[in-house]
Structure formats: C-alpha cells, structure tokens
Chain A
Amino acid sequence: MPRRRIPLLRLAWRNTRRHMRRTLLTVTAVTVAVAALTYGPAHVTGILGDFLDSYARTESGHVRIRRDGYTARERFMPVYLNLPRVDELVAAARAHAGVEEVLPRIKAPVLVDGAGSNRGGLLLGLDLERETGYLDPAAMVAEGRLPDPGSAEILVGRLFAEKLQVSVGDTVVLLAQTAYRSLGGLSAVVTGLAASGMAQFDNTILIAPLDQAQELVDLLGGSTEILVFMDDPEAARALARVLQEELDPLVPGGVEARSWKDEGMLASMMQVAEAAFGVILFIMLLMAALIIVNTMLMSVMERTQEFGMQAALGMRRGDIVALVLAEGLVIGMMGAVAGGVLGSGFALWLERTGIDIQSAAKAIDLPFQGVMYPDWQLRFVIAAAALGMVTAVIAALYPAWRAARLTPAEALRT
C-alpha cells in the first residue's frame, strides 16, 4: 500500500488564512502570552541577577568563610571573631579547581573623627589590587585616587565625607575595637572619595588597604572574612562543603563556609519569585488556550460539510485530528514568533534604557542600584515560544476531537 501523503501543514496554513482577522486575533492571544513569558524571566533574571551579582561582589562572594559563630552576630561585625594567618587559608581555597579568586576582607565598625565632627562608619580593609572586578574600589573613585598599600591612606564614601566635612588631602582619625577588644586608632590621609551609586554604601563606607586595617584592629596577617569567587557560581554549595571540612581544623574555634545560595534572604526571594512566576505562567497560558479553543471550535463547526467531504474522499479520522492539530500548531507558531519578537524587543530595549527605580529603591534596605536592567537570554525566548506552541496544540485537541467525531453522512447532511 502506498504511503499516504496529506499536505497537512499546507492545508492547515491555508485554513488559518481563511478568516485572517479571526486568526490574527487568536494569534494575538498567543503573542501576548509568549511576549510576557519572554520578558518575564528577562525581567526577573535582570533584577535578581543584577542584585545577586552586586550582592556577591560587595557582600557575600560565592562562598564566604568566616569564623564559626560570626553569622549569628553579623550585625555587630565582631572583629574578635576573626581568621588569623589568612594567607594559608587563601592559598588552600585557591588550590581548588573552578576557583576564580579568593579575597580576604576586614570589616570593622569604626568611629571617624573628621573636621570637628565624628560619626560611625564601616571600614573595609581590602586587597585593593585584587578587588578589581569584585568590590572594585578603583571603579568607585569619584575624586582623587586609591590609597597605596603600606601607607596610612584611605578612600572615603562621598556622602560620608560630606558629613564629616573632609575632602581629599585631609587627615581623619579612625577608632575601632581591636581583635582583642581594646581600642585601636589610626590616623589616615583621605586620598580619594568613593561613589558607588548606592546611597547606603556611600554614606558609611571607608576603604583602606588590608594591611592598614589589620594594623588598626590589631590583626596582623588576619582578616574577618574570606570571599571565594568561582567560575561557576552554581557549584558554590559543593565547594562550601569541601572548604568547611578542609579549613575548619586550620582555625582555632573553627570556621563557617557558606555559599551565597544559602544567604537566607536571597534564597527566599528566589523561591517566591519562582513560585509567583509559575502561577502567572500557568494562568496566562490557560487564558490563551481558552481563546484558541473558542476560535477553533467555531472554525471546525463552520467546516462541518468540508470535513464530511474530506471524509468521503477517504480522509481518516486520525487525519482530521492531525489537520486540526496542525492548525493549532500554525496559530501557535505565528504567536510564538510574534510574541518572541515582541517580548525580546521590549526586553532588549529596556536593557539599553534601563528601568529607573531610584526613588523606590531607597525605601528598601537592599543594595539595589537606582536603575535596573532586564537580562534577555535566547533560552527565555525559546522556552516561551515552545510553551506557546505546545499550549496551542493542546488547546486544539478538543476541537480536533469534535471534528473527528462527525461521521461523513452527518457532516454532509448539515
């Protein structure tokens, strides 16, 4: 028996073109859904990605190693919970595959005496050269220059400097609790002002070379934390476990190694975002599907005679089902293409212009920069388009079944 060839897609394409307006309107439903599903992940990934990236660079690293018990007292920034002989730990962490950079940091609350007024701030002791591309102090210098390692120099947040009424060239005195809970002091020259774009940061920050911070808090060769950055941030959890085992015996009192994925706030933020997106996705596709069902039912009912005719010509039930499903697919494809283009266009446009949330970002206590950008990725479009097409075909099932149920005689009679 010769192989049967039915030009399904061509027939389907021509059929959908019969009522172009109706088809286009139905396609619009798929288009809207696919566009939203293309843009949605770009938006969420954009905010989250941007946020995670800046959070990792400025705060958590991909794995953060601290003295055991530090996390619970994090808000105090206790310098007495520290990591001595940090070079050994850094070297050990650096030896692991997939580790891109390992950076020791000192974080200490300090009291700063400027020109007549004093106020509390946050001192970061950094390996200034290595921090390029991470906390990136060099990129923050709005005026003056970075401090030189080995000299008592300091970079001050611009807003902070304003409040202290100091400028480049002035000398400030820092007071801090040392690793031994005594009071330490350091007199340093302001070599530059830092502007990160995050008000909270610029309001409190002081950046000193690591050695100067070590001197201030009496922690020679040590730091309060070590940040590990990885080529693949997704592998952070595994590395954290390994480092926990490996470094724990090296530090009296033990260490805690936590991956950025276990920062409670981030984890719950992502969970909520994902759950919400799932619900939105489902309802959106359901609505698009219902619209398709409606249109295709009408189109099938209109063509009762035609189906009867085709059945009389020897088209089987399966063929009719396939034909109607193919029409669903055509509608889905058109919507997928249009929606993919529309959603991508919107995402890419916003990627260039950015979304200004400056005024609102101030109210929430997170390191958001004033402008957020969606992060368009090809896989979002592909996933959204695929979902749109699958939905359209699923929606076509019922009309297809209705069409196939008609017997030729019945169909021709009507």
Chain B
Amino acid sequence: MTPETLPGRLGWLATLRLAWRNLRRNKRRTWITAVTVSLAVLLLQLSIAVMIGVERQSYDNLINYQTAHAKLYAAGYFENREELPLDYTLTDLEALQASVQQVSGVAATTPRLAFQASLSDGVDQVACFGTGIQLAGSDTEVFRIPQAIVAGEYLRPGEEGMLLGSGLAELFDAEVGDWLTVLTKTRDGAYEALDLPIVGIVGTGNPVIDRNTFLVSLETARYMLDLQEEATEVAVRFSLGAREMATLRALVERVEQLGYEVKGWREAEADFLAFAAMKRLGSVAMLSIFVVLALVGVTNTVLMAAFERTREVGMLMAMGLRGGGVRKLFLTEGALAGLLGGAVGSLLALVLIAYLASVGINITALYGEMDIGYPVKDRMYAALEPLTLVVVWLATGLAAAAASLYPAARASRRPPVEALRHA
C-alpha cells in the first residue's frame, strides 16, 4: 500500500500542495518570515564557509611549512620539544627512512635538525629557532618551503647560507645578500658563532616560521652544533588521498617497536586545534542566537496560520483527517517557509562565498600585523562547498519543521467541534 491509500491520511503530495498553497495565501507574511530565516541562514552559511576555509588554510599551512603530516622522534624528544633539545637525536637515518617509506600511505620523508639559536646583525641580537634541512632532494618532497620564498631563492645543495623568516628579516631590516651571525650552543654547552649570508626570505603566514625561524642546510646545522649524521626528527608526508589516521597507525606500528615516537600533526598542534575549536564554539554560540530568532519567527508564523485557519482545520477533521495529518500539514508549511528563506539566504551566501573563495579577505588590512591565531598568509579564503550549502539549507527546513511542532500540535489537539465553532 502506498501512503496515498491509507485512510484518514493525506499523502505527501497532497500535503505539500496544500501547504504550499496556504503559504501563498498570505504572501506578505510568508516573505517576512522567509527574510527572517534568510538572514540567519546567510550568516550561518557565510560563517561556516569562512570557518572551514580558514581552518583548511591553516591546516595546509601547518602541514606544508611546519608539522608535515607526522614526525618521528627519538624517545623522549616530543615531551621536551619546546626546548628543542639536542639530547634525543635520530642517528640511523637512512635505515629509518627506508623503513618508514615502506608504510603504505607514506609519500616522502626527510630528516630535519631543529635547534635554538640567536641571530645577530652586530648591533642587536634575538633568540630564534634554526632548522637544518636536507637540500639534496628530500625536504621539498615533504615541505613546501620553495613556494614561500618571497625574495631571493631557495638554497642550492651544498650552499652555505640561510633562508630567513620574513618577520626576522623585517626586524633586522635585512635583505637578500646581507650577512647575519648565528649563535648556537652545542650539545656539550659550548658556544659557536657562524656568519651566514641571507640567500632567500621565507614568508609563509605562519608566525612560528616567519617571525622566529631561519633555515640552513643540514650540513651547516650539524657543523654549528657539532653533531654527526644526526637529526632531531624525520618529517613524513602522506600521499594524496591516503587515509590520515590509518597511515598514522601503520606508521606507529612500524617504528614504535624500534623505540621511536611518531606524532601526527594533530597531536603536535593540539593547542592550535583547541584554539580553532574554541573559535568554532564561539561562533556557534553567536550564530545560535540568530537561529533561535529565525525559529521564533517560524513558530510565530505557523501559530498565526493555525489560528487563522482554526475552522478550516475543524472541517478537515470533520471530514476525517486525523490529528497526525493536521500536524503534518503545519509541519510541512513551516518547513516550506524555512526552505524558502533558507534558499534565499543560501543563494545570497553562495554569491558572497564565491567572491570570498576567489578574492579572499585581506587580513593584513583588517588586522594589521596582529597574530589572529590562524597561520594564514595575507588573505583568508572562504571554502565554497556546494554540499555544505545544500546540507545547511536542508537542515533549515528540518529546523523550521521542528519550530512548527508546537503550533502544529496545538492545532491538531483542538477538538473538531470546538474548532468548527471558532469565529
């Protein structure tokens, strides 16, 4: 039996038709309600798109310039990582990389040597982070530093020089070709100083890199720190389309028994993820107020419609429509009003999001040099996701139906005798 053939019930099509015509009966009211809903939906869609966009941009930034997908450390390093200690280094690098390379989902690996250092131009001195990177091939397979070179060029294999974070360059008022002194402390506590020319300037949008980091070749770093064939970490990039968590688990299985630690970027950047989550929560809290307002609007409209049509409902019930049918009728009406408003809001949002996805928001103009908490460079872009737009739109319909529950229930509970008597 199709729903159409159940006695006492109105089929979906008939219900839809009736609800739609009733909405058209009072066009002004329907439109006012739809506009109310559309405002909330517009804000919702826009916020979601910007949020997804900026988070995705941030994650890409972290992965491309700072964390890779995962990093391998010697046991004990991760816990003390903020100190950039030299006491927990990886030694058997080639064997380790070869072993990791076999894990399915792993695209590339590269060793890095992170250390504390001071930079000086002879007048001023500032503490910062140095990173030794492998120039012969592998660092660029994991990280995307060459894409972030804003002046000068990337280091050539064997070249003695540094890539300087753009913020540090600004601080020292230094240009490509200038020399800076790097001061380091070896594992044994001896101080080393080395003058290096600036070969390139790196601007990633990530404050950790731009404001605090300079990059040198792995050989230079080892020389300054008096280390052998050692590294503090092996960074891993996963292949495109690899399942992140599964790959990470496989990675852990592979190397943990060998006494190494593996940390995915999510764990390494737990603070940032917590920050992003709080931002999200804050936005949700703010947006929920608009949603509540829109839903109050829908409830109000359906309540008025039900009140106006009390007698009509009485007649429907006299003809044998059950309470459930009456409820369905008003729920559908509310849902349609919501979908109408949602469509208007979503379409407007689509236009704005498309603009923000291609042109972006100039965050430098908006916030100046302030650290907004997201490692994003110059512009942030909204994420244009048709599926999200549609899901939010449909959810609007559902929420509007939910907002109609109360007036619908009231209308359906009223005894037909009483409803028919209603003036």
Contacts and interface: CB of A to CB of B under 8 A. Distances in A.
A379 interface: no
B271 A363 contact: yes
Given A26-B300, A359-B274, 13 more contacts: A25-B300, A120-B127, A269-B367, A290-B36, A291-B296, A295-B300, A297-B28, A298-B29, A359-B270, A359-B271, A360-B275, A363-B275, A366-B371
B307 A22 contact: yes
Interface in A293-352: 293-295, 297-298
B396 to A, nearest CB: 14
Contacts of B303: 21-22, 25
10 contacts: A21-B303, A29-B297, A177-B125, A283-B43, A287-B36, A294-B300, A297-B29, A298-B308, A363-B275, A364-B373
Contacts of A288: 293
B371 A364 contact: yes
Contact of A291 (B207, B286, B293): B293
Contacts of B308: 298
A68 to B, nearest CB: 16
A75 interface: yes
Interface in A53-77: 73, 75-76
A109 B128 CA distance: 13
Contacts of B346: none
B289 interface: yes
A212 interface: no
A133 interface: no
A151 interface: no
A252 interface: no
Contacts of A186: none
A291 B297 contact: yes
Interface string A261-298: 00011001100100000001001101110110111011
Contacts of B28: 297
A19 interface: yes
Contacts of A140: none
Interface in B194-235: 207
A335 to B, nearest CB: 11
A316 to B, nearest CB: 26
B32 A294 contact: yes
A162 B291 CA distance: 49
Interface in B112-133: 118, 123-127
A141 interface: no
B7 interface: no
Interface in B28-49: 28-29, 32-33, 35-36, 39-40, 43
Contact of B296 (A32, A293, A298, A359): A32
Contact of B297 (A268, A269, A287, A362): A287
A331 B35 CA distance: 21
Interface in A213-237: none
B301 interface: yes
Query: Binding site of A, secondary structure by majority: helix, strand, loop or mixed?
Result: helix
Contacts of A269: 367, 370
A181 to B, nearest CB: 8
A47 B307 CA distance: 46
B406 to A, nearest CB: 9
Contacts of B127: 109, 120
Contacts of A294: 29, 32-33, 297, 300-301, 304
Nearest to A203: B82
Given A283-B290, A291-B36, A22 B371 contact: no
Contacts of A177: 125
A287 B370 contact: no
Nearest to A288: B293
A288 B278 CA distance: 28
A36 B300 contact: no
A357 interface: yes
A38 to B, nearest CB: 12
B408 to A, nearest CB: 14
A293 B32 contact: yes
Interface string B295-332: 01101110110011000000000000000000000000
Contacts of A26: 300
B292 interface: yes
Given A19-B307, A265-B370, A78 B124 contact: yes
Nearest to B120: A76
Contact of A357 (B124, B207, B278, B293): B278
A16 interface: no
Contacts of A163: 83
A178 interface: no
Contacts of B123: 78
A75 B271 contact: no
A25 B296 contact: yes
A109 B40 CA distance: 51
Nearest to B274: A359
Across the A-B interface, the 9 shortest Cβ-Cβ residue pairs: A363-B275, A360-B278, A76-B124, A363-B271, A359-B274, A360-B275, A364-B373, A287-B293, A265-B370
A28 B301 contact: no
Given A73-B124, A359-B274, A362-B271, A29 B300 contact: yes
Given A22-B300, A25-B296, A363 B272 contact: yes
Interface in B365-387: 366-371, 373
B411 interface: no
Given A36-B289, A268-B367, A290 B300 contact: no
A269 B127 CA distance: 27
A363 B272 CA distance: 5
A32 B368 contact: no
B366 A272 contact: yes
A33 interface: yes
A36 to B, nearest CB: 5
A289 to B, nearest CB: 9
B111 to A, nearest CB: 26
A29 B293 contact: yes
B289 A28 contact: no
A28 B367 CA distance: 36
Interface in A340-391: 357, 359-366
B274 A360 contact: yes
A29 B296 contact: yes
B277 interface: yes
B299 A76 contact: no
Interface string A89-121: 000000000000000000001000000001010
Nearest to B292: A32
B192 to A, nearest CB: 15
B294 interface: yes
B261 to A, nearest CB: 21
B370 to A, nearest CB: 5
Interface in A15-44: 19, 21-22, 25-26, 28-29, 32-33, 36
B14 interface: no
A161 to B, nearest CB: 15
Contacts of B296: 25, 28-29, 32, 291
A287 B39 contact: yes
Contacts of A361: 275
Nearest to A295: B300
Nearest to A121: B127
